[in-house]
């Protein structure tokens, strides 16, 4: 028996590292391609190695997140990590602001649309994203606000703005971002331009539009350079208005978007400001409800503002 064990190294059993920092990890097991939940133990190990005590919040029903965040005391957690897309981040941030939780957030891009995470160059690999948070540093970034609702990436209004919020979640899970494009094509035969007045700090524009975007980062919908001047901590938002045009002209516009030539088009309204009001100049419109980070937002008229350095991120 002694000879048998000779030469074998005895495995050291180290003490479990218990950190003093407390992290709440919010995740939806059905978001994106539904694979995030498969390796929770690996993520727990990464956070533990970074000195964090990890608590999980599994969210599957509408209202789960706000209900749970409303019950938190202000010293329960040092930070919140969010595994999901722009919509999940939006839900967490709005709940945090409503209940006055001013703690940093970390982002793990596991949703269908992860535009803000892409802008921040957060890795798509879940373990690498967790490590960025576990060993990262705090920084302050801007928030957008529309009629009292907060958004981290985009507020949109018009024919194509609410495609994300009106696309079936099961179709999103199956087809990913293609689901949005299918929904957009479905609407093409019934395009109805929206007559609006856009009032900025120094200018007023009256026009008929197909889509109006207020961007905190450079892109949305997978198009990462819609607003090439955008910075997430500059105190201003980037505004883009797509004017009404014949259906036959839309492919040309789409090609310019793909080539990142949009801001150079003289027919596109592109400007930066810290506060803008947009309102209808004629009564009602079928697409008068705005979309904020892929979730349904308020109806026009809208007052859209930048809250400079309004949220802490761990990067």
Mean pLDDT score across all residues of the chain: 83
Q: Note the pLDDT of residue 294.
A: 82
Query: pLDDT-based confidence at 263, cuts 50/70/90?
Result: low
What is this structure's pTM?
0.83
pLDDT score recorded for residue 91: 94
Q: How confident is the model at residue 18 (pLDDT cuts 50, 70, 90)?
A: low
- Indicate whether 211 pLDDT > 50: yes
Q: Which one of 180-189, 247-256, 265-274 scores highest in mean pLDDT?
A: 265-274
Q: Which pLDDT belongs to residue 11?
A: 37
| Fold of the CATH domain 21-136 | Rossmann fold (3.40.50)
**Distance separating alpha carbons of residues 26 and 29, to the nearest angstrom:** 10
Say whether pLDDT at 242 is over 70. yes
Lowest-pLDDT range, 112-121, 178-187, 252-261? 178-187
Asked: is 151-308 a CATH 2.60.200.40 domain? The reply is yes
Assign 128 to helix, strand or coil. helix
**Domain locations in the chain as residue ranges:** 21-136, 151-308
Element holding 257 (H helix, E strand): helix 250-258
**Contacts for 132 with CB less than 8 Å, ≥ 6 apart:** 106, 122, 123, 314, 315
| 40-54, 87-101, 150-164, range with the lowest pLDDT | 150-164
Token pair in block for residue 182 = 């299918």
Q: What mean pLDDT comes out for the span 64-80?
A: 93
> pLDDT for 152-199, tens place per residue?
999 999 875 555 444 455 544 444 444 444 444 455 556 778 899 999
Residue with tokens 């036959």: 248
**What is the model's pLDDT at position 259?**
66
In contact, 257 and 287? CB cutoff 8 Å: no
DSSP string, 17-47: P--SEEEEEEE-TTSTTS-GGGGHHHHHHHH
At 141 the pLDDT is 96
Q: Given a cut of 60, is residue 134 above it in pLDDT?
A: yes
Per-residue pLDDT averaged across 137-154, rounded? 96
Helices (H), 113-207: 115-119, 126-134, 169-175, 178-187
Does the pLDDT of residue 280 top 70, yes or no?
yes
pLDDT level of residue 12 (50, 70, 90 thresholds) = very low
Write down the pLDDT at residue 260: 66
Is it the case that residue 149 has pLDDT exceeding 50?
A: yes
Query: pLDDT-based confidence at 3, cuts 50/70/90?
Result: very low
pLDDT mean over 22-51: 94
Report pLDDT for 248: 72
* Model pLDDT, residue 169: 55
Between 170 and 22, the more confident residue is: 22
How many whole angstroms separate alpha carbon 238 and alpha carbon 236? 7
pLDDT of residue 67 exceeding 60, the answer is yes
User: Distance between terminal CA atoms of the chain?
Assistant: 53
């Amino acid at each position: 028996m002694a000879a048998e064990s000779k030469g074998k190294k005895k495995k050291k059993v180290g003490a479990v590292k218990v950190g003093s920092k407390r992290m709440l990890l919010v995740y939806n097991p059905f978001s994106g391609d539904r694979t995030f939940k498969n390796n929770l133990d690996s993520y727990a190990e990464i956070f533990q190695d970074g000195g964090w005590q990890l608590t999980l919040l599994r969210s599957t029903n509408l209202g789960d997140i706000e209900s749970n965040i409303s019950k938190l005391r202000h010293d329960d957690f040092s930070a919140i990590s969010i595994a999901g897309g722009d919509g999940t981040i939006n839900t967490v941030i709005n709940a945090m602001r409503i209940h006055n939780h001013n703690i940093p957030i970390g982002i793990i891009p596991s949703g269908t649309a992860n535009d803000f995470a892409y802008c921040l160059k957060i890795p798509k690999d879940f373990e690498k994203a967790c490590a960025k948070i576990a060993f990262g540093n705090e920084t302050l970034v801007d928030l957008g606000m529309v009629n009292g609702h907060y958004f981290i990436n985009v507020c949109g209004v018009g024919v194509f703005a609410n495609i994300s919020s009106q696309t079936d979640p099961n179709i999103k899970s199956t087809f990913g971002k293609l689901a949005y494009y299918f929904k957009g094509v479905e609407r093409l035969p019934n395009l109805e331009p929206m007559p609006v007045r856009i009032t900025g700090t120094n200018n007023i524009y009256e026009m008929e539009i197909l889509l109006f975007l207020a961007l905190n980062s450079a892109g949305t919908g997978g198009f990462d350079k819609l607003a090439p001047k955008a910075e997430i901590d500059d105190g201003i938002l980037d505004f883009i208005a797509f004017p009404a045009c014949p259906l036959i002209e839309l492919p040309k516009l789409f090609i310019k978007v793909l080539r990142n030539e949009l801001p150079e088009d003289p027919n596109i309204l592109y400007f930066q400001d810290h506060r803008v009001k947009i309102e209808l100049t004629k009564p009602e419109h079928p697409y008068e409800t705005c979309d904020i980070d892929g979730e349904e937002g308020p109806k026009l008229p809208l007052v859209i503002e930048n809250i400079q350095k309004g949220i802490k991120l761990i990067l």
